[in-house]
Amino acid sequence: MILSSFLAAIGQLGDRRFLKVFALGVGLALALLFALYALFLQLIGWFTPDSLTLPFIGEVHWVKDLLGWGSLLLMIGLSVFLMLPVAALFSGLFLEDVADAVEDRHYPRLPPARGQSFYEGLVRSVNFFGVLIAVNLLALILYLFVGPFAPLMFWAVNGYLLGREYFETVAARRLGPVEAKALRRANGGTVWLAGALMAAPLSLPFINLVIPVLGVATFTHIFHRLTGR
């Protein structure tokens, strides 16, 4: 069931609504990162003098340039780690469109799902973003003690987080949040394994950016197969 749901989701990646959510998530994430970089450059300009006198060297005028290039390299490095959670944060605002697209193609006889407001989507996305960052920061410490098993721990931890978030996002549209959580707990092994499958590509640059869209599409299939819809 997990593999067939995953392959069905991959087969729909070219869907216009899938591409729209992906583009919005990545585009907004890039805009935020560029805005932060521009703000950082502005702060450098405000607080760095035009020239500086150094011992044994004398007066130098390239401090701003050095800090500017250094901040660019820093931002590029940080973007490797920040791009996925930030893109997931923004994609979370539009993931119901992905579930709707899956149901329109594969489950066309279903009645309309309960939609979430923009505020509900924002709260859910921010909460998931915070949990994702906090848990992975804690896991960084634990990775030091598990040695070669660190990748397995990474997949296990993020598999649980992704499975819980995406499955409940999909199920709540049809059942409500309380029933969605109960169904997820009743099928915890299946949800965790599917989440681990989503977590496996997280360490692959660029490919990991499609995980929010692919994850919700996969869990939409899993939800309907678990409930027999």
Q: What tens-digit pLDDT sequence spans the chain (229 residues)?
A: 888 998 998 888 888 888 888 888 777 777 777 777 777 777 766 666 565 555 656 555 555 565 665 666 666 655 555 656 666 666 667 778 888 999 999 998 888 887 666 666 667 777 777 777 777 777 777 777 777 777 788 888 888 888 888 888 888 888 888 898 899 999 989 999 998 888 877 767 667 778 888 888 999 999 999 988 5
- pTM of this prediction exceeds 0.85: no
Domain hosting 124: range is 2-227
Enter the tokens of residue 114.
């309960």
- The encoded tokens of residue 140 equal 């960084």
Could you tell me where the DSSP H helices lie in 147-176? Answer: 150-175
**110: helix, strand or coil:** coil
SS3 61: coil
Using the structure block, give the residue that is written with the tokens 């907004």.
28
Q: How far, in Å, CA of 127 to CA of 222, rounded?
A: 23
Count structural domains, the chain.
1
